Amino acid sequence: MASTRVPNPFHFGAPAEDVHFTDRLDQLARLKAVMLNGQNLILIAPRRYGKTSLLLAAEREVRKAGGRTGRVSLIKCASEKDVAEALMKGVIDGPLGWLRGRVEELILRISRLRIRPTATFSDSGTLESLSFGRDIAGVNWREVIVDVIRILNDAAQHERTEPVSLILDEFQKAYEISPLLADVFKDLVDEMPRVSLVFAGSKRHLMEAMVSDPERGALYNVGSKMYLGKIALEDFVAYLERQAAVGGKAMAGGVAARIYQAAAGIPNDVQLLAFWSFESAPGSSIDDAAVEHAVRAAVGDQREEFEEVFGKLSLTQQRLLKHIAANHTTAVTGSVVQAAIGVSHTSARAAAEVLERAQLIQSQDSAWIVSSGLLREWLSDAYD
């Protein structure tokens, strides 16, 4: 007998696609327009806000519209050489993907680099591996990176008419490796008017350092800026109720809002709690009890991560974080906070700066909150 089980209609963890891609249509349209018209954009979004989902959706939409594009993440890069290799792979897999199956021509293009990488291709022409080799002494990897990105410019100017673009995800890693490495891209932007580069990052303080400083900012004035915020409560509530109905269950009044609030509106965490609320509901209705079970399960799953993050903080930072989690806090350096955590104005300010850079707290609606709703729940006594 065939199973009548309906799959869980919610999705978390991996980037969202198709029906799970929630709202973000205005941002998607803006990204698509930029990438199809040789413009540059800086996208800044905290972790778990759906940045990667948005970028992958933009990549798909640009390709449907006839553009040649690709995405490369720098998150695993630890050296300038790593960045050069990641970019080379991204260029071959993305904007030069139309050459798939024409391996000899691809190899010819690679051979023009001042350091020729070793690449292997499948029978269909798909890139399987690429490396610039080991123990290469005295290489100026910034010059190699310039060579790699200039391949995009050559393709845009001399060969075909399709728009050319490249997404550089987690770009703050380039800045962390070397501010000089990030500066390379500012010069490249000026010489590639027909190529669109999207610089995306999840560490706001590092991205802001590149965007806002007119003297030393590698991305200052190189393109428009987009800040990815939370999806509005009413939009997410409508999505949650609609998806629950697709799965054959209804959300009791206020349940979708309870899920959103428990997750502090962070898109991935909203999907996470909705997923486990759907699983926890024994019948055809998702109620508050199912949400409470989902919150407890999610907090339990992340307990070790929360313990590690909390344990790395100083005692003052820990006290401030707990205070913000439990109280409406309009000023992190106010007399109420100073008295509650037993520190001076200066110490409270220093602790707040560390917590904000680590994206553990943020200012929202004229108050300070713990950025993660699940971390806030873990900090409460209810989950001991």
Q: What percent of the chain has pLDDT over 90?
A: 54
Q: Which pLDDT value is given to residue 187?
A: 83
Question: If residue 8 lies in a helix (H) or strand (E), which one and from where to where?
Answer: none
Q: Which pLDDT value is given to residue 373?
A: 94
pLDDT band of residue 153 (cuts 50, 70, 90) is: confident
Mean pLDDT of 174-200: 89
Whole-number Å distance between alpha carbons of 228 and 200: 10
Measured between alpha carbons, how far is residue 57 from residues 50, 62, 87, 167, 288 in Å? 11, 9, 20, 12, 33
Question: Is the model's pLDDT at 13 over the cut of 90?
Answer: no
pLDDT band of residue 1 (cuts 50, 70, 90) is: very low
CA angle 313, 373, 252 (to 5 degrees): 165
If one compares 20 and 88, the residue with the highest pLDDT of the two is 88
Tell me the CB-side half-sphere exposure of residue 325, using CA atoms within 13 A. 22
Whole-number Å distance between alpha carbons of 337 and 343: 8
pLDDT band of residue 5 (cuts 50, 70, 90) is: low
pLDDT digit string, tens, across residues 317-343: 999 999 999 999 999 989 999 999 999
Q: Which pLDDT value is given to residue 260?
A: 95
Fold of the CATH domain 303-383: Arc Repressor Mutant, subunit A (1.10.10)
pLDDT band of residue 167 (cuts 50, 70, 90) is: very high
pLDDT digit string, tens, across residues 290-323: 999 999 999 988 999 999 999 999 999 999 999 9
Q: Which pLDDT value is given to residue 155?
A: 72
pLDDT digit string, tens, across residues 345-383: 999 999 999 999 999 999 988 999 999 999 999 998 666
Q: Is the dihedral of CA 318, 322, 327, 329 positive or negative?
A: positive
pLDDT digit string, tens, across residues 96-121: 766 555 556 666 666 667 777 777 77
Reduced to 3 states (helix: H, G, I; strand: E, B; else coil), residue 297 is helix
If one compares 15 and 164, the residue with the highest pLDDT of the two is 164
Query: Nearest to residue 374, comparing CAs of 287, 264, 271, 291?
Result: 264
Question: Is the model's pLDDT at 122 over the cut of 80?
Answer: no
pLDDT band of residue 135 (cuts 50, 70, 90) is: low
Tell me the CB-side half-sphere exposure of residue 161, using CA atoms within 13 A. 1
Q: Which pLDDT value is given to residue 356?
A: 94
pLDDT band of residue 252 (cuts 50, 70, 90) is: confident
**Which two tokens mark 189?**
């932007």
Reported pTM: 0.84
Q: Which pLDDT value is given to residue 104?
A: 60
Question: Is the model's pLDDT at 171 over the cut of 70?
Answer: yes
If one compares 157 and 54, the residue with the highest pLDDT of the two is 54
pLDDT band of residue 19 (cuts 50, 70, 90) is: low
pLDDT band of residue 227 (cuts 50, 70, 90) is: very high
Output the CATH code of domain 24-227.
Answer: 3.40.50.300
Average pLDDT of the residues of the chain: 87
If one compares 177 and 114, the residue with the highest pLDDT of the two is 177
Q: Which pLDDT value is given to residue 113?
A: 72
Q: Which pLDDT value is given to residue 217?
A: 84
